[in-house]
Structure 1
Amino acid sequence: MADLDFFVDVVVSGTVLGVGQTDSPDDVARTLGDAFVESRTRAAMRRDYGLVEFSWGRWPGSSRWQATGFTVQAHRLASITVTEALVHRYGPFGRHPRFTQLNAELDRLGFYLQEITDQTGADYRRYWLAESRISLLVATTAYQEMIDAGDVWSISAPHPPEHVAAGKLGRQRQAVKDGLVHLFQLDEQQRWQWLDRRQPALHERTNWWLYLLLLIDQHLGDQSHRRADWAELKLWLLRQGQARAVFTEAESAEKLAYFAGDMRRAGVESVVLPSADDIVRACLDALPAGLNEVAMLDDQRDLSGLDRTQMRHSRQAKNLVNAAQWHLDAVQDAGLAAQLREWIDIKPRLV
């Protein structure tokens, strides 16, 4: 099924024809064309291409749109005309994709969806793929003769691990919230001691840290008058997370790159953030393969020619380049900037 290839590509790559999670409105328009319906406010914009919707946001005082994600509205297939760029690439689209077929193909390629449904008796089952940060909704009941139980309702991205961690912690979430308020009031030595005392069991540790960072992000958005204090705490925790081996080198570099970029765009200047050079260097140092070794594709339908390690390394490289490129304009080292540009040039061919 040609259109099944489209859904496989979206799930594995976390993009639509290579664009989605980090691309500008112009980038998306160059790929999918200008046949969209747009809704816009000063701070948010959405473009609806029928089967796919893309969204962006921007900080107060900024003119630059930052991608906030996309959703493939698979349930619309019975009532829309699919964008020509997608038909040209994949051929005619048929009925709604069946989850069993999609999951079987992903399994064959070595990608295993994790169910993260957060409530019993829900109308949908939710699944997640960590490598691409996508979330799938699968209908559990038929809907108005438009979709059957077991059909894929939608695929959206990004769905970061912090949000998955929140669901996994369950009843522990309130304890983490209470602890964060206390941690915020401590000096550095007391924070070390607090972390030493509070570390959960090894199998719960990563989710505990991820949820802690998610709570800080919420405070950063809600309490502008204390934003610098919360930013300082998050920077400290990111460094502690790497020092304590909670996060890998790649995860730490990527998280720090996005955090520093967000803080600079928000105008938080009182926190001593790493330089653009240090951030980009950390991202490039964490790449799992070199330019001449990383797996690249001329067509996403060549995925079957790669093993899972090649796909995972290519995807990880794409994530790191996405994070690093936000800092390119501020890099002082010309050689480092040139190295990053080489990776940006090949990024569309990464998985």
Structure 2
Amino acid sequence: MEFFTGFVVTGAVRGADATSTPAEVTALLGDRFVESRTGAGQLLRCYDLVELAWKQDGAEDRWRGLYLTLQAHRLEQPLSVDELSAALDRIGFPLVEVAPDGVGCRPFVRADSRVGVLVDEESGEVMQLTVPAWFAPGPRGEPSPVPPGASRDRVRHLVGLGAPEREAWARRRQPEEADEAARWWWSLWVAYRQRLYAGDGRNRDHDRSAVREAGLWLLGKCEAAGVLDRTEAVCEIARYGLLEPDAAVRACLDAIPVSRGDVATRESTPYPYARETLAAVNASRAAKRLSLAAGALLPGVRDRALRAEVEVWLELRTRLM
């Protein structure tokens, strides 16, 4: 139980997490694993219950971590979600249940460590624990208040509006109740991301600057509604190219909530984590996510000082939470 609660709290196994490189994982977990590569440029590795995946980025053969999963369904003695939840409650790190997925699973999540837990709906047995989770608590884990087609139409309309018109449009349509408004803004952002992902020419009716401006505006509304925090919003900006590389990297660095001199590291923070250290741990996590988001943009960055600042943060990556 300590092994599983430790993973939920930290999002790591003996220091290896979803951002670790294959070489770093070997150093931490050893070389007794099974490994395979797929035609899609992915590397999969299995240590009994522990599975990791990476994707190859670019021609330099760098591997970017995709996820780390504990396959609890392989245990000889099933792990009960009630027992896992009770153990986490006792140490002050409770799970939050997300809306069911409709196919027989109950999803739970620990938002700060970004660990998701999938549970068999009938037996209550934990099937797997994964970081980062692909589901979230709160408005992001609830059904959209708007049909998908309507959200897409609204996003298409918003891209064509100027800033004052967008604000007027929002004042007329935004739900009054806070939770409903948060779900409403999130549904629009999801539709916007799908529009970008489609790659089918639907953005040709507006220039790229208008599409970016609408995306930044939507992210600002999601942040104001509490459906995204600052770290998440800036990571979305970097991921979807809503600012030029220099500006996006500057936004990532500005959003880091702690200085390098004060950031919590694995060496400076007692383990297991306690409630009194959680604020420092989460600031370290934010620094790690933001520096990695900035690092992905470095090939397009011109400002040498920005590049140097990001590279110093990236040197700290393995020591951050």
Q: Number of paired residues?
A: 312
Distance 1:337 1:109 in 2: 40
Q: Name the counterpart of 1:156.
A: 130
Distance 1:312 1:32 in 2: 24
Distance 1:286 1:113 in 2: 27
Matches within 5 A, 1:161-240: 165=139, 167-174=141-148, 175-184=150-159, 186=161, 190-200=165-175, 201-226=177-202, 235-240=212-217
Matches within 5 A, 1:1-351: 4-34=1-31, 35-57=33-55, 64-78=62-76, 95-118=77-100, 123-141=104-122, 149-160=123-134, 165=139, 167-174=141-148, 175-184=150-159, 186=161, 190-200=165-175, 201-226=177-202, 235-241=212-218, 243-244=220-221, 245-246=224-225, 247-260=228-241, 273-276=243-246, 278-298=247-267, 301-304=271-274, 306-351=276-321
Distance 1:231 1:73 in 2: 43
Letter in 1 for 2:236: K
Distance 2:180 2:308 in 1: 40
Greater helix fraction, Structure 1 or Structure 2: 1
Shift of 1:259: 1.8
Distance 1:305 1:223 in 2: 44
Runs (5+) with no aligned partner, structure 1? 79-94, 142-148, 261-271
Distance 1:313 1:223 in 2: 35
- On the 8 A contact 2:41/2:56 being kept in 1, the answer is yes
- On the 8 A contact 1:162/1:210 being kept in 2, the answer is no
User: Residue 204 and residue 347 in structure 1: after superposition, are their counterparts in 2 closer, same or farther (change >3 A)?
Assistant: farther
Distance 1:6 1:233 in 2: 49
> Which structure would you say has the larger RCO, counting Cα contacts within 8 Å and 6 or more residues apart?
1
- On the 8 A contact 1:21/1:68 being kept in 2, the answer is yes
Shift of 1:178: 4.2
Distance 1:55 1:164 in 2: 27
Distance 1:303 1:226 in 2: 47
Distance 2:79 2:270 in 1: 18
Shift of 1:326: 1.3
Shift of 1:73: 0.7
- On the 8 A contact 1:253/1:286 being kept in 2, the answer is yes
TM-score if structure 2 supplies the norm length? 0.78
Distance 1:251 1:16 in 2: 24
Letter in 2 for 1:153: M
Letter in 2 for 1:7: F
- On the 8 A contact 1:38/1:48 being kept in 2, the answer is no
Runs (5+) with no aligned partner, structure 2? none
Shift of 1:96: 4.0
- On the 8 A contact 2:152/2:192 being kept in 1, the answer is no
Letter in 2 for 1:74: A
Distance 1:274 1:51 in 2: 41
Distance 1:132 1:231 in 2: 35
Letter in 2 for 1:220: L
Report SS of the residue matched to 1:302.
coil
RMSD: 3.5
Letter in 2 for 1:155: L
Between 1:317-326 and 1:303-312, the stretch displaced more is: 303-312
User: Residue 151 and residue 248 in structure 1: after superposition, are their counterparts in 2 closer, same or farther (change >3 A)?
Assistant: closer
Distance 1:233 1:66 in 2: 31
- On the 8 A contact 2:295/2:314 being kept in 1, the answer is yes
- On the 8 A contact 2:159/2:211 being kept in 1, the answer is no
Distance 1:77 1:232 in 2: 52
User: Residue 305 and residue 170 in structure 1: after superposition, are their counterparts in 2 closer, same or farther (change >3 A)?
Assistant: closer
User: Residue 183 and residue 221 in structure 1: after superposition, are their counterparts in 2 closer, same or farther (change >3 A)?
Assistant: same
TM-score if structure 1 supplies the norm length? 0.73
Distance 2:121 2:56 in 1: 36
Distance 1:226 1:27 in 2: 42
Report SS of the residue matched to 1:296.
coil
Report SS of the residue matched to 1:282.
helix
- On the 8 A contact 1:69/1:156 being kept in 2, the answer is yes
Between 1:313-322 and 1:224-233, the stretch displaced more is: 224-233
User: Residue 62 and residue 292 in structure 1: after superposition, are their counterparts in 2 closer, same or farther (change >3 A)?
Assistant: closer
Distance 1:105 1:162 in 2: 21
Distance 2:90 2:137 in 1: 27
